[in-house]
């Protein structure tokens, strides 16, 4: 029996800055209200674990999505920052720290981090891309499950893969997940901006993003960044 693997590869962000800014702003405003309501709910819910967990989840969803939207708007509004040599490992660790509070009972494991080396570019772009991919992977994972980040480096390319064992990408959504505003997680607060934002950030590093379902369940999100000849 053959099992097909579909992928979507994005070499350009394909985003209109003004449209992206407007979309992010329109989504952020009601989310801010939702966050305040959720915080108020958390203070007044019955003292039972189920009610507290629901309120906490609402707060985390609202806050995480607002952070994503703020990152999108900053990337559109801020002028391009100067490129310089930076440690890839430090950028990956920074991305992990940024998603930790939203997923306190889930783990990230690095494989090959010591081989990541340095690269030339804007570290914020790599941090933002990996942060979005980690947030998706951790959100799709169950408590206690581990998200794996593998790093492979050659003389020509840096490849960073984020792998989870979540529910995976529906086959009919694979070709649309890069569209701004499209999400398969609308019911749990998905904004549809995380992956387009990641692709946009990677374009600044001459990088690409490829998504595909994993055999056995889950998703592989693979970043490929071309390295200059040494």
Q: What is the pLDDT of residues 118-128, one digit of tens each?
A: 999 999 999 99
Cβ atoms within 10 Å, residue 65:
22
pTM > 0.75: yes or no: no
Domain residue spans in the chain? 8-226
Q: Is residue 223 within 8 Å of residue 129, measured between CB atoms?
A: yes
Outline where the chain has alpha helix (H).
Answer: 17-44, 49-77, 88-100, 123-140, 194-203
Question: pLDDT digits over 28-42, tens only?
Answer: 555 566 666 666 666
pLDDT tens for 40-50 read 666 666 566 66
Between 3 and 26, name the one with better pLDDT: 26
Q: Summarize the confidence of residues 197-209 as an average pLDDT.
A: 89
CATH of the domain spanning 8-226: 3.30.565.10
């Amino acid at each position: 029996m053959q099992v097909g693997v579909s992928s979507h590869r994005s070499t350009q962000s394909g985003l209109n800055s003004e449209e992206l800014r407007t979309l992010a702003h329109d989504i952020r405003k009601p989310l801010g209200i939702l966050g305040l309501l959720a915080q108020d709910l958390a203070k007044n819910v019955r003292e039972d674990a189920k009610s507290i967990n629901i309120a906490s989840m609402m707060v985390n969803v609202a806050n995480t999505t607002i952070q994503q939207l703020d990152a999108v708007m900053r990337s559109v509004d801020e002028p391009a920052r100067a490129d310089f040599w930076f440690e890839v490992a430090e950028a990956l660790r920074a991305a992990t720290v940024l998603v930790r509070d939203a997923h306190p009972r889930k783990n990230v494991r690095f494989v090959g981090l010591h081989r990541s080396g340095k690269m030339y570019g804007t570290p914020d772009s790599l941090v933002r891309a990996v942060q979005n991919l980690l947030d998706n992977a951790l959100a799709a994972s169950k408590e206690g499950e581990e998200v794996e980040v593998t790093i492979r480096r050659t003389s020509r390319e840096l490849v960073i893969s984020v792998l989870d064992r979540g529910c995976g990408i529906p086959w009919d959504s694979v070709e649309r997940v890069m569209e701004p505003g499209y999400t398969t997680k609308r019911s749990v607060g998905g904004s549809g901006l995380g992956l387009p934002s990641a692709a946009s950030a990677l374009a600044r590093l001459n990088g690409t993003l490829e998504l595909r379902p994993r055999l056995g369940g889950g998703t592989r999100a693979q970043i490929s960044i071309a390295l200059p000849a040494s």
